[in-house]
């Protein structure tokens, strides 16, 4: 939109806003076939700009059996600018930073198209788990291991999946009990677990640091 200024010249007024109507529709679409795809997207809070996605580890890969949480931040220009995604669950993969969870994927950068959706982007992330691209790595250490010592790579990736991506398979009660046994007060354990979305490892980290 454009406004005519006091002195007669025009200057642009742009209030960039996320297209929340579309995000709502995307969430609905996604929940329709969650049984089939296993891909979930849900808002972190009331604010639709922060979401959390989750994808099942592809069958036949070291990630099989794990559930991977992905933090999604929508920029103001969404869907005309790509969503920002990064793994919240630790994952051992050449194209994902083992430190920060940052993902190296073209459609999240210059190949993004407004016609893509959060779900299609998550499907691409899932496909990346099945088909790593070690020549275009995000994590050089992992990529080197992938190329030079594949056996160890598979082992590490599987171990990380077991350790970090399966934790939430425990029931809430069991998790609470486990953490209480470690010596944290029950109230604090419960609230912390809730705050981190039920991930006991994250909760432990938070309890230890705080």
> CB 95 → other proteins: shortest distance, Å?
20
- Choosing from 104, 121, 125, 203, the catalytic residue is 104
Q: How far is CA 1 from CA 11, 47, 137, 142, in A?
A: 9, 25, 42, 48
3-state secondary structure of 34: helix
Gap between the Cα atoms of 25 and 57, Å rounded: 25
Instruction: Considering the complex, state which of residue 125 and residue 142 has its C-beta at the smaller distance from other proteins.
Output: 125
Residues at the site binding other proteins, with contacts judged by CB under 8 A: 1-2, 10-12, 14, 19, 21-22, 25, 77, 79-81, 111, 113-116, 120
Q: Is 104 a catalytic residue?
A: yes
> CB 78 → other proteins: shortest distance, Å?
10
| Residue 111: burial class (beta carbons within 10 Å; 0-12, 13-18, 19+) | exposed
Assess contact for 62 and 154: CB atoms under 8 A: yes
Instruction: Considering the complex, state which of residue 49 and residue 154 has its C-beta at the smaller distance from other proteins.
Output: 49
Instruction: Considering the complex, state which of residue 114 and residue 185 has its C-beta at the smaller distance from other proteins.
Output: 114
> CB 53 → other proteins: shortest distance, Å?
19
Angle at 68 between CA 67 and CA 70, to 5 degrees: 145
Instruction: Considering the complex, state which of residue 25 and residue 150 has its C-beta at the smaller distance from other proteins.
Output: 25
> CB 137 → other proteins: shortest distance, Å?
24
- Dihedral angle computed from the Cα positions of residues 162, 163, 166 and 170, in that order, rounded to the nearest 10 degrees: 120
Which are the catalytic amino acids?
A: 104
């Amino acid at each position: 939109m454009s406004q005519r200024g006091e002195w007669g010249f025009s200057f642009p007024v742009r209030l960039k806003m996320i297209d929340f109507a579309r995000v709502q529709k995307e969430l609905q679409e996604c929940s329709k076939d969650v049984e089939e795809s296993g891909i979930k997207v849900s808002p972190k809070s009331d604010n639709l700009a922060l979401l959390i996605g989750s994808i099942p580890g592809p069958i036949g890969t070291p990630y099989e059996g794990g559930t991977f949480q992905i933090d999604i931040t929508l920029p103001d220009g969404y869907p005309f600018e790509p969503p920002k995604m990064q793994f919240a669950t630790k994952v051992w993969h050449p194209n994902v930073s083992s430190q920060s969870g940052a993902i190296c994927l073209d459609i999240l950068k210059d190949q993004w198209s407004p016609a893509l959706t959060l779900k299609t982007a998550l499907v691409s992330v899932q496909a990346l788990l099945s088909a790593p691209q070690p020549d275009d790595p995000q994590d050089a250490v992992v990529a080197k291991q992938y190329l030079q010592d594949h056996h160890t790579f598979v082992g590490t990736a599987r171990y990380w999946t077991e350790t970090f991506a399966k934790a939430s398979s425990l029931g809430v009660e069991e998790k609470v009990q486990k953490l209480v046994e470690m010596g944290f007060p029950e109230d604090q354990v419960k609230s912390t677990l809730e705050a981190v979305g039920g991930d006991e490892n994250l909760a432990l980290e938070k309890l230890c640091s705080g």
